[in-house]
Chain A
Amino acid sequence: MAATDPQNFDERDFDEVDHDLDEGLDESGEHSAPHLIGTPSVVVDDVHVKYRVFGGRRQSTAEHGRFRAMFNRSRRHVGAVTEVHAVRGVSFTAHHGESIGIVGLNGAGKSTLLRAVAGLMPVSSGDVYVAGTSALLGVNAALVRSLTGERNIMIGGLALGLTKAQVEEKFDEIVEFAGIKDFVHLPMKAYSSGMAARLRFAISTAAIPDVLMIDEALATGDAAFRARSQERIEQIRDRAGTVFLVSHSMRAIRNTCDRAIWMDQGQVIDDGPTDEVMDRYAHELKQRR
């Protein structure tokens, strides 16, 4: 009843797409040195993700008959649940030392795919295999908003599986890296979105994961933070880890990633070396405008 049909699945919002072609990282880091590609670290096998959204219903465009219309209108208030089929049969293999950019319009299923790969959102069908630990960094960055940054560092670190001593040992480094100084003693609801994102990035990378997934986190920082996070990503890659980056910044993807996956409406449209995929993606975008 609430299942999505592909024609109707049009939640993309073109105005919000922010492909900042000219601002971004400095030119010196134009192309990261090619990394040695190792053995598979992430295998995604025909993954579908569906989730329920409460509090709203999609409107069908054609409503037949007055009674039907009345019924549908009342359904907006009662039983307002919609199932979103966000990822529709995605398969790929990622390797140690690879960094992969995921591009696509808003609502293409990029973030949902990352959550599924991180094991944070259950898949409806298909399988995800990962070598070692994975961590996800996202834009909705606060862990527990009412608590201070200090507490959140402890909670985040412990949740990641570090011991109390390990978190305490890394505490200064995390605060330093996030660049939040005295704000660490304030509740996270007082943080700017950039500060929260930085803190979460610092927490999540405190224990260097084997697979790191970044969901537009780089877009929120200032220039100095971008440079530092770039450095951290390089570190993770050097330890034969795998990095996924979801971003609307084409420059960030071209600079950081050596492979790109282009998604649209929950499916993979293109998958290959960054330059080739991004050229095709940019071309397609121009045509759609």
Chain B
Amino acid sequence: MARQASGDDVSELAALAREHGLTKVGERPGFGQYLRQLWSRRAFLWTMSHARSYSRNQNNYLGQLWVILSPLTLAAVYYLVFGVVLDTTRELDNFPAFLIIGIFIFLSLSAAINSGATSIINNIDLVRAISFPRAVLPISVAVSEMLTLLPAVGVMLAIVLISGEPLTWRWLLLPVALAVILVFTAGGCLMVARIVVAARDLRNLIPVGTRLLRYVSGVFFSIQAYVSGTVGTILEYQPFAVYLTLVRSCLMEEIPMTVPLWGAAVGWAVLFAVIGILVFWSAEDEYGRD
């Protein structure tokens, strides 16, 4: 039996492979097929997400209690700084509610983007051990951030109620708003994961970007009260600000819920998700090289 292949019979080997129905390894699947593969691994996606958000608090004594404790302490610190010391309560009736919604939603968004950026390069062991659609990793970051946010949302609702907001039918839209946010962060994570794999130095710039967004997205002040004109409109309709306002409009009487707001929220989410998955898929055969 001729086992040793000489260097020049390239087509011969390919022909042999075809003759016996072997499939080519490491080839990027078609887009539709990729989505089907991704769907078939949804249990894996869920387990990864859950494990990730669970393991975060598992390495200290109070363990999962920190799911509630850390947002509470965070809210106290921000209230002290921006409510009492700096007093950015201009034009707002219920500043505590405004602030706590801003902080919790914003931190969840930025945490998702920041850790989504390193979701491939930090899991290189897994990538090099088992083959699966790599989009599972960035998407699981988005899902796990949402899972971490949910207990914080419980704390948030309690504080908003205590601060004097009435329960209205708009509260029912909160789960929808959170779902839209999840779609947006999943798309965002796919994009930044792809970018960082292509040029890993950018992973140092992505936290800088989210830091900047923290100060311009109206987390602890109302954009309308401070900026007006074109700049104000741009600041108001950039995705992070849109999602903060969206959640506030679900829970607070003084923030109006408008059609353009929902339009922008859904629009950004769809845009990010579609571009994200396309961009990520286009390099599916390259993850795991470095």
- With A45-B13, A121-B128 in contact, do A259 and B47 touch (Cβ < 8 Å)? no
Binds A, one of B18-26, B155-163, B216-224: B18-26
Binds A, one of B72-80, B206-214, B258-266, B281-289: B281-289
Number of B residues contacting the other chain (C-beta, 8 Å)?
A: 44
Is A56 in contact with chain B by the CB < 8 A criterion?
no
- With A40-B22, A122-B26 in contact, do A92 and B3 touch (Cβ < 8 Å)? yes
Q: How far is the CB of A50 from chain B (nearest CB, A)?
A: 8
Is A119 in contact with chain B by the CB < 8 A criterion?
yes
- With A51-B289, A160-B130 in contact, do A119 and B26 touch (Cβ < 8 Å)? yes
Partner of A130, one of B10, B25, B47: B25
Is B30 in contact with chain A by the CB < 8 A criterion?
no
Is B231 in contact with chain A by the CB < 8 A criterion?
no
Of B41, B44, B55, B58, which is in contact with the most chain A CB atoms at under 10 Å from its CB? B44
Q: How far is the CB of A141 from chain B (nearest CB, A)?
A: 8
19 A-B pairs besides A134-B25, A138-B129 with CB distance below 8 A are: A41-B22, A54-B200, A93-B16, A120-B130, A120-B288, A122-B285, A131-B22, A136-B128, A136-B130, A143-B125, A143-B129, A146-B55, A147-B51, A154-B47, A158-B44, A159-B130, A164-B43, A204-B129, A204-B130
B100-143 vs A, Cβ < 8 Å mask (1 yes, 0 no) = 00000000000000000000000101111111100000000000
Q: Which residues of B are in contact with A by a Cβ distance under 8 Å?
A: 1, 3-7, 10, 13-14, 16-17, 20-26, 40-41, 43-44, 47-48, 51, 55, 58-59, 123, 125-132, 200, 285-290
Is A235 in contact with chain B by the CB < 8 A criterion?
no
Query: How many pairs of A and B residues are in contact by the CB < 8 Å rule?
Result: 145
Give the distance in Å from the alpha carbon of A135 to the alpha carbon of B128 in the complex: 11
Is A202 in contact with chain B by the CB < 8 A criterion?
no
Partner of B44, one of A44, A51, A89, A159: A159
Q: In the complex, which residue of chain A has the Cβ closest to the Cβ of B131? A: A119
Instruction: Name the B residues within 8 Å of A204 (CB-CB).
Output: 129-130
Q: Which A residues, 80 to 124, have Cβ-Cβ distances below 8 Å to chain B?
A: 89, 91-93, 115-123
Q: Which applies to chain A's interface (DSSP): helix, strand, loop or mixed? A: mixed
- With A40-B16, A121-B128 in contact, do A129 and B47 touch (Cβ < 8 Å)? no
B130 pairs with A135, CB closer than 8 A: yes
7 A-B pairs closest in CB distance: A129-B17, A129-B22, A158-B44, A119-B25, A43-B17, A91-B5, A128-B25
